[in-house]
Chains A and B, each alone.
Chain A
Amino acid sequence: DSGVTQTPKHLITATGQRVTLRCSPRSGDLSVYWYQQSLDQGLQFLIQYYNGEERAKGNILERFSAQQFPDLHSELNLSSLELGDSALYFCASGDLQETQYFGPGTRLLVL
Protein backbone atom coordinates (compact mmCIF):
# COMPACT_ATOMS: atom_id res chain seq x y z
CA ASP A 1 0.00 0.00 0.00
CA SER A 2 1.60 3.26 -1.20
CA GLY A 3 -0.49 5.48 1.06
CA VAL A 4 -2.01 7.29 -1.92
CA THR A 5 -5.77 6.94 -2.25
CA GLN A 6 -7.86 7.41 -5.36
CA THR A 7 -11.60 7.42 -5.80
CA PRO A 8 -13.57 6.06 -7.45
CA LYS A 9 -11.95 2.77 -8.37
CA HIS A 10 -14.15 2.30 -11.44
CA LEU A 11 -16.21 4.74 -13.44
CA ILE A 12 -18.51 4.06 -16.36
CA THR A 13 -20.01 6.99 -18.19
CA ALA A 14 -21.23 8.10 -21.60
CA THR A 15 -19.65 10.22 -24.30
CA GLY A 16 -20.07 13.93 -23.74
CA GLN A 17 -20.26 13.61 -19.98
CA ARG A 18 -18.00 15.09 -17.30
CA VAL A 19 -16.35 13.22 -14.45
CA THR A 20 -14.14 14.08 -11.50
CA LEU A 21 -11.38 11.85 -10.19
CA ARG A 22 -10.07 12.39 -6.70
CA CYS A 23 -6.67 11.76 -5.15
CA SER A 24 -5.30 12.06 -1.63
CA PRO A 25 -1.51 12.08 -1.38
CA ARG A 26 0.66 10.37 1.21
CA SER A 27 1.01 12.20 4.46
CA GLY A 28 3.79 14.77 4.14
CA ASP A 29 4.00 14.79 0.34
CA LEU A 30 3.35 18.15 -1.28
CA SER A 31 3.41 17.03 -4.90
CA VAL A 32 0.60 15.34 -6.79
CA TYR A 33 0.97 13.97 -10.31
CA TRP A 34 -1.66 12.69 -12.72
CA TYR A 35 -1.04 10.08 -15.41
CA GLN A 36 -3.15 8.40 -18.06
CA GLN A 37 -2.42 4.80 -19.00
CA SER A 38 -4.03 3.44 -22.12
CA LEU A 39 -3.18 0.37 -24.16
CA ASP A 40 -1.92 2.27 -27.19
CA GLN A 41 -0.31 5.28 -25.49
CA GLY A 42 1.41 3.72 -22.50
CA LEU A 43 1.87 5.81 -19.36
CA GLN A 44 1.47 9.49 -20.17
CA PHE A 45 2.21 12.28 -17.73
CA LEU A 46 -0.63 14.78 -17.58
CA ILE A 47 0.08 17.38 -14.91
CA GLN A 48 1.84 18.01 -11.59
CA TYR A 49 0.90 20.23 -8.67
CA TYR A 50 3.20 21.22 -5.87
CA ASN A 51 1.68 22.67 -2.72
CA GLY A 52 -1.34 24.00 -4.59
CA GLU A 53 0.50 25.41 -7.59
CA GLU A 54 0.82 23.91 -11.04
CA ARG A 55 4.44 22.89 -11.53
CA ALA A 56 4.60 20.89 -14.75
CA LYS A 57 2.29 20.14 -17.60
CA GLY A 58 2.47 17.19 -19.93
CA ASN A 59 0.15 15.91 -22.60
CA ILE A 60 -3.04 17.11 -20.96
CA LEU A 61 -5.96 17.87 -23.25
CA GLU A 62 -7.79 21.18 -22.96
CA ARG A 63 -10.92 19.22 -22.01
CA PHE A 64 -9.08 18.06 -18.90
CA SER A 65 -8.25 20.19 -15.90
CA ALA A 66 -6.91 19.62 -12.43
CA GLN A 67 -6.41 21.41 -9.17
CA GLN A 68 -4.83 20.84 -5.79
CA PHE A 69 -6.65 22.06 -2.72
CA PRO A 70 -5.25 23.56 0.51
CA ASP A 71 -5.48 20.16 2.21
CA LEU A 72 -3.30 18.86 -0.68
CA HIS A 73 -5.85 16.50 -2.16
CA SER A 74 -6.25 16.85 -5.90
CA GLU A 75 -9.00 16.45 -8.43
CA LEU A 76 -8.77 15.72 -12.14
CA ASN A 77 -11.77 16.87 -14.15
CA LEU A 78 -12.45 15.28 -17.51
CA SER A 79 -15.15 16.86 -19.66
CA SER A 80 -16.79 16.28 -23.04
CA LEU A 81 -15.66 12.71 -22.74
CA GLU A 82 -14.84 10.70 -25.83
CA LEU A 83 -14.45 6.97 -26.34
CA GLY A 84 -10.69 7.43 -26.55
CA ASP A 85 -10.57 8.80 -23.01
CA SER A 86 -11.22 5.32 -21.68
CA ALA A 87 -8.09 4.49 -19.71
CA LEU A 88 -6.58 3.92 -16.30
CA TYR A 89 -5.90 7.21 -14.56
CA PHE A 90 -3.21 7.21 -11.91
CA CYS A 91 -2.43 9.73 -9.28
CA ALA A 92 0.96 9.76 -7.58
CA SER A 93 2.37 11.78 -4.75
CA GLY A 94 6.00 12.71 -4.53
CA ASP A 95 8.71 13.31 -2.02
CA LEU A 96 11.53 15.86 -2.22
CA GLN A 97 13.70 13.47 -4.23
CA GLU A 98 11.01 13.27 -6.90
CA THR A 99 10.16 9.67 -6.09
CA GLN A 100 6.54 9.14 -7.07
CA TYR A 101 4.30 6.79 -5.14
CA PHE A 102 1.30 5.71 -7.16
CA GLY A 103 -2.27 5.17 -6.09
CA PRO A 104 -4.34 2.19 -7.21
CA GLY A 105 -5.79 4.07 -10.17
CA THR A 106 -9.26 4.86 -11.47
CA ARG A 107 -10.45 2.79 -14.40
CA LEU A 108 -12.60 4.96 -16.66
CA LEU A 109 -14.81 3.45 -19.32
CA VAL A 110 -16.57 5.80 -21.72
CA LEU A 111 -19.42 4.19 -23.64
Chain B
Amino acid sequence: AQKVTQAQTEISVVEKEDVTLDCVYETRDTTYYLFWYKQPPSGELVFLIRRNSFDEQNEISGRYSWNFQKSTSSFNFTITASQVVDSAVYFCALIRTSGTYKYIFGTGTRLKVLA
Protein backbone atom coordinates (compact mmCIF):
# COMPACT_ATOMS: atom_id res chain seq x y z
CA ALA B 1 0.00 0.00 0.00
CA GLN B 2 1.05 3.57 -0.61
CA LYS B 3 1.39 6.02 2.23
CA VAL B 4 2.82 9.48 2.88
CA THR B 5 3.77 10.51 6.40
CA GLN B 6 4.41 14.07 7.49
CA ALA B 7 5.09 13.56 11.16
CA GLN B 8 5.49 17.25 11.95
CA THR B 9 2.00 18.64 12.45
CA GLU B 10 3.10 22.18 13.19
CA ILE B 11 6.44 23.97 13.27
CA SER B 12 7.14 27.49 14.52
CA VAL B 13 10.34 29.32 13.67
CA VAL B 14 11.57 32.86 13.94
CA GLU B 15 12.18 34.76 10.73
CA LYS B 16 15.56 34.06 9.10
CA GLU B 17 15.85 30.62 10.67
CA ASP B 18 16.26 27.59 8.43
CA VAL B 19 13.56 24.93 8.67
CA THR B 20 13.21 21.41 7.26
CA LEU B 21 9.88 19.75 6.63
CA ASP B 22 10.01 15.97 6.63
CA CYS B 23 8.22 13.64 4.26
CA VAL B 24 8.48 9.85 4.39
CA TYR B 25 6.67 7.71 1.88
CA GLU B 26 5.87 4.04 1.38
CA THR B 27 5.42 2.33 -1.94
CA ARG B 28 6.41 -0.90 -3.62
CA ASP B 29 6.33 0.68 -7.04
CA THR B 30 9.53 1.49 -8.88
CA THR B 31 7.90 4.26 -10.88
CA TYR B 32 6.23 7.11 -9.06
CA TYR B 33 6.23 10.88 -8.63
CA LEU B 34 6.71 12.91 -5.48
CA PHE B 35 5.44 16.45 -5.03
CA TRP B 36 5.40 19.31 -2.60
CA TYR B 37 2.54 21.80 -2.48
CA LYS B 38 2.08 24.95 -0.43
CA GLN B 39 -1.29 26.06 0.90
CA PRO B 40 -1.10 29.65 2.18
CA PRO B 41 -3.86 31.14 4.33
CA SER B 42 -5.70 32.18 1.17
CA GLY B 43 -6.44 28.45 0.66
CA GLU B 44 -5.18 27.75 -2.84
CA LEU B 45 -2.73 24.88 -3.31
CA VAL B 46 0.44 25.98 -5.06
CA PHE B 47 2.72 23.53 -6.85
CA LEU B 48 6.34 23.71 -5.67
CA ILE B 49 8.23 20.74 -7.09
CA ARG B 50 7.87 17.37 -8.83
CA ARG B 51 10.38 14.54 -8.66
CA ASN B 52 10.17 11.23 -10.47
CA SER B 53 11.44 8.10 -8.81
CA PHE B 54 14.46 7.82 -11.09
CA ASP B 55 15.81 11.28 -10.36
CA GLU B 56 17.47 11.51 -6.97
CA GLN B 57 19.25 14.72 -7.74
CA ASN B 58 18.69 17.35 -5.09
CA GLU B 59 17.18 20.59 -6.24
CA ILE B 60 17.54 24.17 -5.14
CA SER B 61 15.22 26.99 -6.10
CA GLY B 62 16.08 30.23 -4.38
CA ARG B 63 15.59 29.72 -0.66
CA TYR B 64 13.92 26.34 -1.22
CA SER B 65 15.76 23.04 -1.50
CA TRP B 66 14.66 19.44 -1.65
CA ASN B 67 16.50 16.29 -0.64
CA PHE B 68 15.22 13.05 -2.19
CA GLN B 69 16.68 9.83 -0.80
CA LYS B 70 15.24 6.57 -2.05
CA SER B 71 17.31 4.60 0.48
CA THR B 72 15.31 6.13 3.32
CA SER B 73 12.10 6.79 1.31
CA SER B 74 12.28 10.44 2.19
CA PHE B 75 11.70 13.65 0.29
CA ASN B 76 12.49 16.48 2.68
CA PHE B 77 11.99 20.18 2.04
CA THR B 78 14.21 22.89 3.50
CA ILE B 79 13.51 26.60 3.57
CA THR B 80 16.59 28.71 4.16
CA ALA B 81 16.31 32.08 5.87
CA SER B 82 12.57 31.71 6.38
CA GLN B 83 10.26 34.67 5.90
CA VAL B 84 6.80 35.47 7.25
CA VAL B 85 5.38 34.88 3.75
CA ASP B 86 6.50 31.25 4.03
CA SER B 87 3.82 30.70 6.67
CA ALA B 88 1.52 28.09 5.19
CA VAL B 89 0.57 24.43 5.28
CA TYR B 90 2.92 22.31 3.18
CA PHE B 91 1.80 19.01 1.69
CA CYS B 92 3.93 16.19 0.38
CA ALA B 93 2.27 13.88 -2.14
CA LEU B 94 2.95 10.57 -3.86
CA ILE B 95 1.48 9.75 -7.22
CA ARG B 96 1.49 6.24 -8.55
CA THR B 97 1.30 6.05 -12.30
CA SER B 98 1.66 2.33 -12.99
CA GLY B 99 -1.29 0.00 -12.73
CA THR B 100 -4.07 1.66 -10.78
CA TYR B 101 -3.41 5.37 -10.54
CA LYS B 102 -3.24 6.60 -6.95
CA TYR B 103 -2.89 10.10 -5.59
CA ILE B 104 -1.93 10.23 -1.93
CA PHE B 105 -1.31 13.38 0.04
CA GLY B 106 0.27 13.61 3.46
CA THR B 107 -1.59 15.29 6.27
CA GLY B 108 0.45 18.46 5.89
CA THR B 109 2.81 20.45 8.09
CA ARG B 110 1.71 23.88 9.26
CA LEU B 111 4.67 26.24 9.26
CA LYS B 112 4.47 29.46 11.24
CA VAL B 113 7.22 31.98 10.70
CA LEU B 114 7.26 34.62 13.39
CA ALA B 115 8.57 38.12 12.80
Contact = CB atoms under 8 A, between A and B. Distances in A.
Interface string B27-53: 000000101010000011111001010
B66 interface: no
Contacts of B95: 98
Given A42-B108, A43-B91, A102 B44 contact: yes
Given A98-B33, A98-B95, A99-B35, A105 B103 contact: no
Contacts of B75: none
A2 B45 CA distance: 9
B12 interface: no
Interface residues of A, number: 22
Counting chain B residues whose Cβ lies within 8 A of the other chain, the interface size class is 20 to 34
Contacts, number: 52
Interface in A14-44: 33, 42-44
A48 B101 contact: yes
Interface string B93-114: 0010100111111111000000
Main secondary structure of the interface of B (DSSP, over half): strand
B45 A90 contact: yes
A56 B102 contact: yes
Interface in B43-83: 43-47, 50, 52
Nearest to B6: A42
A60 interface: no
Contacts of A44: 105
A42 B91 CA distance: 10
